[in-house]
Amino acid sequence: MPVITNDPVLPQGTLAASPRDCFELMFDNSIIAIIVKWTNESIEGLRTSYKNKKTAIVDKTYNNEIMALIGILIMSGLKQDNHVPTKEMFSKSIGPQINRAAMGEHCFCFLLRVLHFDDMETREEKKRTDKFAAVREIWDKLISNCTAHYSPGEHITINEQLLGFSGRCPFRIYIVNKPAKYGIKLIMVCDAKTSYMLNTLPYLGKYTQPPHGMALGHYVTTKLVVPYANSKRIITGDNWFGSVPLVNDLLDNYNLTYVGTVQANKAQITPEMIDKKRFPNGQSAFLFD
């Protein structure tokens, strides 16, 4: 499907005629250049570990090679074989031919080892104020592209997704009812019709602090819907986000409406509404303001 922005409240986008065009709108040249730059810095740091400085294994990488690496990783995710050993991924007998056409197994493993997205020398300093510093620069560019190059329909949903991750991470969390259990939580808004991700924030645990007196669900919702303010769209969310103050805030300050469930322990819910003994089976109660 072509991706084009025709929303009056968003920047005008570019028509994408092919899947590659769509991909390059998201992963533009500036993002690839950042990955190449800091990956080459990482490779340079490893050169002293090799006696033969001319060996191909420590040669610098380039844009096309990084694009090929990303392509293999996307294909692996699409085929849901991200747990397959690399030898099997590049096997001539059972591995996909497209992997071997993109690069060799040794090159693939080496790039994954040295892949970097930021300056390692300044990372620790930046992490004092931003726990997402290791990928912050390319993350912000990617999300900005996702927002700028797509115009959603009338309905937008907000929800959370847990990306399974078992490595070391200061904001990795545990959610018992999720398939992955442990991982990194992303809070995102999506087009309700196509499921396209429009905007997202990583949940950084105690490092994600809303203003005093504001619920976290309220805070992240208002941050994520800023690009769609004054568009009169309808936001739908579950009870982790929903509250009367949020609904009023969206309507008064963003010209957006909200539909969703709300937790029964919210202060605005009257006791009569949550006393189930008052209502026989099959009856409903409605509260109007």
**Domains of the chain, start order:** 1-151 (no CATH), 152-278 (3.30.420)
The predicted pLDDT at position 7 comes to 46
Tell me: the pLDDT tens digits for 174-186? 888 888 889 999 9
For range 218-230, the mean pLDDT: 95
Higher pLDDT pick, 81 / 137: 137
Give one word for 201, left, alpha or beta, with left for phi > 0 and alpha for psi -120 to 50: beta
Tell me: the pLDDT tens digits for 81-107? 878 899 999 999 988 899 999 999 999
For range 234-260, the mean pLDDT: 95
Q: Which residues pair with 201 in a beta bridge?
A: 187
- Predicted confidence (pLDDT) at residue 63 exceeds the cutoff of 90: yes
The continuous run of DSSP H or E covering 187 comes out as strand 182-191
Q: Indicate the range of 7-11, 111-115, 192-196 predicted with least confidence.
A: 7-11
- Predicted confidence (pLDDT) at residue 193 exceeds the cutoff of 50: yes
- Chain CA centroid to CA 255, Å: 25
The whole model's pTM is what?
Answer: 0.82
Q: Indicate the range of 15-24, 190-199, 279-288 predicted with least confidence.
A: 279-288
Mean pLDDT over all residues of the chain? 87
Q: Quick one: what percent of the chain has pLDDT higher than 70?
A: 91
Q: Indicate the range of 27-36, 49-58, 254-263 predicted with least confidence.
A: 49-58
- The string of DSSP codes covering 225-252 is TGGGTTS--EEEE-TTT--HHHHHHHHH
Higher pLDDT pick, 253 / 57: 253
The predicted pLDDT at position 50 comes to 65
Name residue 71's amino acid: G
The predicted pLDDT at position 178 comes to 82
The predicted pLDDT at position 9 comes to 42
- Predicted confidence (pLDDT) at residue 198 exceeds the cutoff of 70: yes
